[in-house]
Amino acid sequence: MHKLIAILLSATVLLIGCQPADPVKSASPELQRQYNAAFQDMLNKPGDLAVALKYANVANQAGDLEGAISTYEGMLLIDSNLPRVRLELGILYYRLKSYEVSRTYLETALQSPTLPADVRKPAEQLLLKMPKQSKRST
């Protein structure tokens, strides 16, 4: 019995450690419906920022972090000086363990001449938590 529990625990740890091939397929049917609807809405109204953000939020909830990232990356094409968007990207890339990119976005957010106070604090907080191997050597 103990052996079985150990195997199950090991399997659980492995499953948690692995990124699912397509996390959206593991989402609830209702969330999948919202995700698909938000995506189609975005394709039909590509210039509507509110629609794009709704998709980013639903994608985030459904585990499609790349979908959320792509929406925010598109916003930086409109203007690169969007520290709040850079913070969001920093958080999303951190969740993906892509720490170098995360740090780049957080640092550029902090360099913004129009940095809001409510962006500075979480950006600094996350930078402090960056894994050691990812910290800049120069």
Partner 1 sequence: MSKSNVVVLPLLRALLVGAAVLGLFSTAQAQSRIGVTQATENNPMGKPPGGVDRVLRVGTDVQANEAITTTSEDRAHLVFLDGTTLTIGPSSSLTIDKFVYDPTTQKGELAVNASKGVFRLIGGRISKTAAITVTTPSSTMGIRGGIMVFGVQVSATTSIFIYGNSMTVTANGVTQTVTVPGLQVSTNAGGTPGTPTVVVQGSLSAALGNLAGNSSAAAATLVAINTLVADSVSNPVTLQALIQAIVTANAAQTLTTTTTTLTTNLNVITVVENPNQSKNSPN
- What contacts 24+ positions apart, CB below 8 Å, involve 132-138? 134/99, 134/100, 134/103, 135/103, 136/103
**C-alpha–C-alpha distance, residues 81 and 98, integer Å:** 22
From 108, 109, 110, 115, residue interacting with partner 1 (rule: CB under 8 A): 108
Chosen residue from 27, 34, 63, 93 binding partner 1 by CB under 8 A: 93
Site string for partner 1, 45-84 (x = CB under 8 A): -xx-xx-xxx-xx------x-xx-xx--xxxxxxxxxx-x
Residues near partner 1 (CB under 8 A), total: 62
Tell me how far apart the 2 most distant CA atoms of the chain are, in Å: 61
CA–CA distance, 106 with 126 (Å, rounded to integer):
8
Identify the CA nearest to 92 among candidates 121, 43, 116, 59.
Answer: 59
Q: Rule CB under 8 A: which residues touch partner 1? A: 13, 16-17, 19, 21-22, 39, 42-43, 46-47, 49-50, 52-54, 56-57, 64, 66-67, 69-70, 73-82, 84-85, 88, 91, 93-101, 104-105, 108, 114, 116, 118, 121-122, 125-126, 129, 131, 133-134, 136, 138
